[in-house]
Structure 1
């Protein structure tokens, strides 16, 4: 798909202006591409992208309507129901668009990795060696996650369960993505799960070693979605759909390997990720277009219906939140169908003349939820 650069016309009508927030990670790429390649402009909307350093800031600004939409963690849609600002349900979130599958990795500190007697770099060998290491050491394994209500947290549980590590030995610490590498360098965490490029950055700094890609735990795991404030979705449905259409086009564009260099140059700009384009290219090549994981899926932005807000994914997230005592279903004021808006998604796909899919035909299998070894312990 070729880039188009439509003439950027100044917009004066407020109804065509949109504020979208994001956290500086590789998987915010569809937003940056939609802006830089002109896909938002082609839909007749003017978008201001606003960078935030952490998910709590994104959550608060989206809830209060300071942001109309945002690149958010998929579980945050359900979590927004827990304590809506001023008890106003119009300030909770919904989504009609997923922004792809996968994209996370688990990184172990070099200090610990170098102590493991790992015969090879396979996941089974690493988890066995890590369990053995913990059996002859004392103290907790300090694990970093980006937010309690995140796929990162749930992937960590899947990983720790596979390794047979008792959660009583684990201390979970919430750290903003951009601070993960420094936290590992300072010895604040032993292991973390985060999106790229902050796993590759740890390897370059020799602070940590990528030991597992999220796709090795769940081959089509949901990750980020385009979340919107409920009030925005209700009052500006046409602008909402135009915004979604532009992001779908950007996701299509990102699937081409020939576009890696250009997307890295855009993402590296000071106003976006503000980091080396070489770092981004290395992370993209490692996470998107190599075959380290064999048949496992990597970061997928568009193919395999990666933009569908699958009801099965929403149900899995709800069950995980229940398993870890994070949510009381009595506090859900809306159905999962209302929170994961399939009808709007289908209208957008029709607008773009793209194939429609059946809502129950999600790809792959859902993993069994790893129940906490210590009942009642919150992640």
Structure 2
């Protein structure tokens, strides 16, 4: 177990009554915005200070320095730091999943037009006559992994057939307008912004790559959990309440207005609401659904490690499953969720991705060995 049971005599008063939460300007920061603006932490003994960050690298650096207590973070960012890939290593913790789905890949109009006329993605990219440039948001992040996985499924090698750049999400649409990019993979509302600018069109939603994939998590350093376990539980309780509040379409419309603020996303409400407001369809952002969204299943983290190995980002002989069990705070989450009367989903979950490969986390080595395209 990655967190001990709560002693019966323990006080549940948070050790840190004021918590600094980092976020990047994305629609799926909605749980943090709802929790802060509606003061949902009060009943759990905490106040929340939202701290907007310009990039995922800034989120990482401020989590490590202690300037942030916790953050809305890319699932893969947490694992990249844990494994020391491309930056400093630190023991990290995933407290809960904040959302599933809701990301996309947008390509320039010429590429989107070619695909719309029936060209394969591989042929459309080749028609440029040069190496396509497609951006993602962090080297080990979810968007890099969705982009790589989708390209490989289309017969395009993501490391040699395209040039992949890292750009902060709020810069994506502008870079596409400027012609710096041929496409990008990121979160909303930046795809809606790109389409509104006439610069490109969404060609695939990430829920079409991995239906109900894990996306952003509530993350912190593992020593924060050790030092302030009651605070960590209070944070989970607060974010579960916020995620549940967002299950309502009316509440999503409401929070879209708040997210439009310059202090949060600084994007027109209509563009945020267009893709955040829907609770059905091909790419619905899922925030709660009875807690089915939020359980930090260790196999989800393990999947990212398989992809780092697939693409040559990690070759050390490690106990990958044990790392995922240590990072994902399943016991701590269960304590908080049960206290809120929220059911704990099954540990094992099967997912079929866009290439037909099935992931269930039980044999990661065999899963990894089954990929025809790799580094």
TM-score by length of 1: 0.85
Q: Quick one: structure 1 residues 363 and 300, their matched pair in 2 at CA, closer, same or farther if it must change by over 3 Å? A: farther
Residue of 140, 143, 148 corresponding to 2:134: 143
Q: Distance in 2 between matches of 1:85 and 1:157?
A: 17
SS in 2 for 1:335: helix
Q: How many residues align?
A: 346
Aligned 1:267-282 pairs, distance under 5 A:
267-282=259-274
| 1:118 alignment partner, one of 113, 116, 122 | 116
Could you say if the C-alpha distance between residues 117 and 93 of structure 1 is closer, same or farther in structure 2, counting changes exceeding 3 Å? closer
Over the aligned positions, Cα root-mean-square deviation in angstroms equals 2.5
Q: Distance in 2 between matches of 1:117 and 1:246?
A: 43
Residue of structure 2 in register with 1:315 after alignment: 302
SS in 2 for 1:226: strand
Tell me if structure 2 keeps the 8 A contact 1:324–1:371. Answer: no
Aligned partner of 1:337 among 320, 325, 347: 325
Partner residue of 1:176 out of 168, 179, 199: 168
Contact 1:82-1:332 at 8 Å conserved across structures: no
C-alpha distance in 1 between matches for 2:210 and 2:55: 25
- Indicate how the Cα distance of structure 1 residues 75 and 35 shifts in structure 2: closer, same or farther if over 3 A, else same: same
Deviations 1:249-282 (A, max 9, x none): 1000101112122111211122211221121111
Q: Work out the CA distance in 1 between the residues paired with 2:253 and 2:280.
A: 15
Matched residue of 1:106: which SS? strand
Gaps of 5+ in 1: 1-12, 120-124
CA contact (8 A) 2:15 2:228 kept: no
The residue aligned with 2:8 is none
Q: CA deviation at 1:203?
A: 0.3
Alpha-carbon contact 1:93-1:230 (below 8 Å) kept: yes
Q: Is the 8 A contact 1:82 1:331 kept in 2?
A: no
Within the alignment, does 1:353 sit opposite 2:341 as a pair? yes
For structure 2, which runs of at least 5 residues remain unmatched after alignment?
Answer: 1-13, 358-367
CA-to-aligned-CA distance 1:179-209 (integer Å, 9 cap, x gap): 0001101111101101000001000000110
Q: Is 1:302–2:288 an aligned residue pair?
A: yes
Alignment of 1:70-219 (within 5 A): 70-83=71-84, 91-114=90-113, 116=114, 118-119=116-117, 125=118, 128-167=119-158, 168-219=160-211
Cα pair distance change 1:165/1:215, threshold 3 Å: same
